[in-house]
Chains A and B, each alone.
Chain A
Amino acid sequence: MLESSSLLLPCVALPFLAAVVVGSGSGRIGRASGWIVFAAALASFLSLVPAAATHGIDRFSFPWLPAAGISFALRADGFGLLLAFIVSGIGALVALYSTAYVAEADPAKERRYYAALASFMGAMLGIALADDLILLFVFWEITSITSFLLIGYRYEDDDAKAGALMALQVTALGGLAMSVGFLLVAQVTGTFSISAITSDPALIAKLLASPLCPAALLLVLLGAFTKSAQFPFHFWLPRAMVAPTPVSAYLHAATMVKAGVFLLGRTYPMFGEAPLWAPTLVVVGTTSMLLGAYQAFREIDLKAILARTTASALGMITLLYGLGATTDDSLQILNHALYKGALFLVAGIVEHHAHTRRLDQLGGLRHALPIAFVACALGSLSMAGFPPLLGFVAKDNFYAALLHSEWLAGTPLLRTVVLLASLASSALLVATAGKLTFGVFSGAERAHAHGRRDEAHADEPRVPLWTAPAILAGGALLLGLASLGELTSDLVTATASAPEHRAHATLLPALGWPLFASLFALVLGVALYTRRDAVSALQKRLAGGPAASAMWEGAMAALARGGEAYSVRWQNGSLRWYLAATVLTLPALCVWAFSETGLSWRQISVTFADTPWYGFLFCTLLAVATIATVRARTRLAAAISTTTIGFLVAMLFVVYRSPDILLTQLLIETVSSIFVLLVLVFLPAFPARDMKPGTQLVNLGIAAAFGVTITILLLLTMTPGIREPSNIATRPGGLLSLALEQGGGKNAVNVIIVDIRAADTTGEITVLVVVGLAVYGLLRTRRRARQQRKGRGTRSEAA
């Protein structure tokens, strides 16, 4: 079954294992849980190395649901490895960072944090390496859930809860849509395996040609956009910043939000040529890029700025996918992961140190946190795209792709708009980077919030705190310098999703429009930064328009109100309404069924030849008894006449020769009459005055409808043509002989109940047991509650 003994399965399983160990661990693990998760992340990272070394594609597959054609398939192609390396690498760093950052008094809470973090890491690795659509969806949902747990880590304060809930709602909505999209894709192509679909042009052609393709594409895109906080769904990301900083760094910068873009990379080979692919992605990408950059510049809270810039950077990558630039998409992903991770972790150090994240209260920390300052500077420069950092190379490739894309060339207007938007957002990013670095670290050292100066110096950031950002920022610098040579280009080509030709990522690009564009963006950015007060004043004036998150909350509240209104209206507690609804459904269903099947009451042809005359007499008595029940003035009279009806019906069973049911009917009639007597005290007295004529008529109508339907149904079953051959019991293979041979009994009725259809009876008797237990449970708890109330009542009187 296991195709190859590769290390893919342990790589994904290890973090989950760590999560279980940490989660279930008792007190003594306590402080060590952080290190366990770190070790697991490191192990996963290392286990990926052999897979990367072997140039061939490493596969592992295990038949999970053979019936549905779903298999637990992992596949380590270049693109998957890229995300997997990022997830496990940055995961290890974040775990390391958390050991110092997350210091909780209650070890259980800390253990839960690490368990959620580890299971998130496992799920992300699953997404990176999954080769089966459904498997990808399962891991996708796990990430949504664990992100909910991690965002809502400090569940005491309401913002955390609200933010976590909103994140879950949005990403779950996207996940759901995406799963439907996957099902449609599998429906058309007949297989769930991603590699099978992408490698077979015939399947892709079939997918593109099928009418389901636009729907599937939009649904999958919905999943990607919600996860990567793209334009219509960008509002949950800033709200998710209430999470502890390592979580923000890991989930909302390096990995989780990347899953959406990663999905675009995975599905590009499938939907790339679809007519809807390019326009949607370009439009959404550009808008979220520009919107993110614009709002980032306006923000004051450190993490909110970073969240907005993440949305903007992801918008840029989505735009690239729209243009089909899949040769160097890994460069963009890697670059963003490195610098944004570093910046977030620096923000964590600053907050940890100065206990505030607001720029207007921060300043002059370069002496207190020298290393953090260096890391932040490198990260910001990479974000802005200054040489010699990786950011510059990525920006240059971005503009190259922008200018050389044939698709954009086809629509000059859109091309200019996109170009201008890119230049504007790059400039804004540069300005934000400047604001970020200089705002926090340079300038006079302002009195920190709450004026605790002495204590601020005391906790020099411990070693694990600054190592993580330093490594990330250093990585950005090293890769930038390496691009002088050929190393970066090889790395990018190896990990790109669908490299047509060898990507060229060089620090010294050929002179050309892309270079001028990025240089121009840099200059514009610096200018913007120098005039930042005027710009922010302008922005304040322009502020307006409803916040997207407010709209979303409004929609959710409306949904809740609608549900409540529905239930209040229909479940209004009146027994009469419930009874009428249940009774009326039968006639309604019959009318519908009759119209569907073409049955009609005209087909009834029943001869009364074989019915003995006493059958008629019993029926007349039955009618009289029924009228007596309805006309009864007191409850006891009604009870007795109902029992009489039961008796008369039993008599009919004698006339129509069915002894078993006769006995059952008689006994049940008695037992139920005793029940009625037992509860007679509680039943409401019959209304002294008669009901309003209106309600009487309505009741009459409902009863008549029900009665007529039942009569027609019965008569239809009696007409010979419709029901089964009349000798169903007596014919050779019939029930009687069957009962005798196998059941060993002449009484077919009992043999059927107990043996031939014993499975049904098991169901029925289980229902009976449940009824008994329900009565026992409900009444007992009600009585205990009443006694407590009475107990309290008497005490209060006595007091």
Chain B
Amino acid sequence: MSGWFALVTDFCVFWLFVAAALCLYRIVVGPKAADRAVAFDTLSSVAIGMICLLCIRFSSTLYFDAVWILTLVGFLGSSAVAKYLAKGRVF
């Protein structure tokens, strides 16, 4: 874990925060629910990225399972909202 690599990781983590903040802006403002759903989906992708970087930063693979679950979760969340918007019911 050489010095410059840690620096790069931190730099990337910071910029992921910026991306997350932008997504959050869309969630807060988003005129319609659909926008918020999209932002929510991107937020889950940003979260996956964040976890990967933090795995590297803490050099432990314990959190790697969360990546898998976040994918499933992100998909479920947005498709449920999409179906609700389209058909008014979820199942």
In the complex they form, do A and B come into direct contact, defined as C-beta atoms under 8 angstroms apart?
A: yes
B58 CB, nearest partner CB in chain A, Å: 7
Q: Contact at B76–A644, with CB atoms within 8 Å?
A: no
Q: Indicate whether A621 sits within 8 Å of B17 (C-beta atoms), given known contacts A640-B37, A644-B40, A651-B47.
A: yes
A625 touching B24 by the CB < 8 A rule? yes
How far, in Å, is A779 (CB) from chain B's closest CB? 15
Chain B interface mostly: helix
Chain B CB within 8 A of A737 CB: no
Binary per-residue interface labels of chain B (54-77) against chain A in the complex, 1 for a CB within 8 Å, 0 otherwise = 100010101101100110110011
B80 touches A625 (CB 8 A): no
Contact of A655 among B14, B54, B65, B69 (CB under 8 A): B54
Contact of A640 among B33, B60, B63, B66 (CB under 8 A): B33
- Known contacts: A647-B44, A650-B47, A666-B70. The answer to whether A637 contacts B30 by CB under 8 A is yes
Is A641's CB under 8 angstroms from B80's CB?
A: no
Chain B residues with Cβ below 8 Å from A641 are 27-28, 36
The reply to whether the CB of A62 lies closer than 8 angstroms to some CB of chain B is no
Which residues of chain B have C-beta atoms less than 8 A from A628's C-beta?
A: 24, 27-28
> What distance in Å separates the Cβ of A742 from its nearest Cβ neighbour in chain B?
22
Interface residues in B19-39 (C-beta closer than 8 Å to A): 20-21, 24, 27-28, 30, 33, 36-37
Judge whether A654 and B54 touch: CB under 8 Å: yes
* CA gap between A332 and B27 in the complex, in Å: 91
Question: A residues 633-669 with Cβ under 8 Å of B?
Answer: 634, 636-637, 640-641, 643-644, 647, 650-651, 654-655, 657, 659, 662-663, 666-667, 669
Q: How far is the CB of A629 from chain B (nearest CB, A)?
A: 9
**What are the residues of chain A within 8 A of B63 when measuring CB–CB?**
654, 659, 662
Asked whether, in the complex, the Cβ of B81 is within 8 Å of the Cβ of A614, the reply is no
B84 in the interface (beta carbon within 8 A): yes
**CB of A105 closer than 8 Å to a CB of B:** no
The answer on a CB contact under 8 Å between A654 and B90 is: no
Chain A residues closer than 8 Å to B13, beta-carbon distance:
614
Question: Contacts A614-B17, A621-B20, A628-B27: A677 and B90 contacting too (C-beta < 8 A)?
Answer: yes
Can you list, as one digit per residue, whether each of A98-131 has a CB less than 8 Å from chain B (1) or not (0)? 0000000000000000000000000000000000
From residue 644 to 698 of chain A, which have CB atoms closer than 8 A to chain B? 644, 647, 650-651, 654-655, 657, 659, 662-663, 666-667, 669-670, 673-674, 677-678, 680-681
Q: Residue on B with the closest CB to A612? A: B57
Residue A754 at the B interface, CB < 8 A? no
Also in contact, A666 and B69, with CB within 8 A (given A614-B17, A636-B81, A651-B50): yes
**B88 interface contact, C-beta 8 A:** yes
A617 at the interface (CB under 8 A from B): yes
Interface size on A, residues (CB 8 A): 34
Asked if A667 meets B28 with Cβ closer than 8 Å, knowing A644-B40, A651-B47, A651-B50, the reply is no
Most buried by B among A627, A628, A680, A681: A628
Asked if residues A659 and B36 are in contact (CB atoms below 8 Å), the reply is no
* Interface residue from B30, B58, B66, B84 paired with A666 (Cβ < 8 Å): B66
Min CB–CB distance B49 → chain A (angstroms): 11
- How large, as a class, is the contact surface on chain B? 35 or more
Residues of B within 8 A of A678 (CB): 90-91
Instruction: Report B37 CB to chain A, min CB distance, Å.
Output: 7
Q: Which of A624, A666, A680 contacts B73 (CB 8 A)?
A: A666
A-side contacts of B28, CB under 8 Å = 624-625, 627-628, 631, 641
| Contact across chains for A663 and B44 when beta carbons are under 8 A apart | no
B84 closest partner in A (C-beta): A677
Residues on B with beta carbons closer than 8 Å to the beta carbon of A621: 17, 20-21, 24
Give the chain A neighbours of B69 by CB distance below 8 A.
Answer: 663, 666-667
Query: With the chains together, A659 CA to B13 CA distance in Å?
Result: 19
Q: How far is the CA of A621 from the CA of B51 in the complex (A)?
A: 16
List A contacts of B21 (CB < 8 A).
621, 624
Asked whether B40 lies within 8 Å of A680 as measured between CB atoms, the reply is no
Closest to A641 in B: B27
B52 to chain A, nearest CB (A): 10
User: Which of B33, B36, B76 is the one whose CB lies under 8 Å from A670?
Assistant: B76
Known A-B contacts A667-B69, A673-B77; the reply to A637 vs B51 at CB < 8 A is no
Query: A628-B27, A636-B84, A654-B54 provided; 19 other pairs, C-beta below 8 A?
Result: A617-B14, A621-B24, A625-B27, A636-B33, A636-B81, A640-B36, A643-B77, A644-B27, A651-B50, A659-B62, A659-B63, A659-B65, A666-B70, A666-B73, A667-B73, A677-B80, A677-B84, A677-B90, A678-B91
Residues on B lying within 8 angstroms of A by beta carbon are 13-14, 17, 20-21, 24, 27-28, 30, 33, 36-37, 40, 43-44, 47, 50-51, 54, 58, 60, 62-63, 65-66, 69-70, 72-73, 76-77, 80-81, 84, 88-91
A-B pairs with lowest CB-CB distance, top 3: A628-B28, A636-B33, A659-B62
Q: What are 11 A-to-B residue pairs whose CB atoms are below 8 Å? A: A636-B81, A640-B27, A640-B33, A641-B36, A644-B40, A647-B43, A654-B63, A663-B66, A663-B69, A670-B73, A681-B89
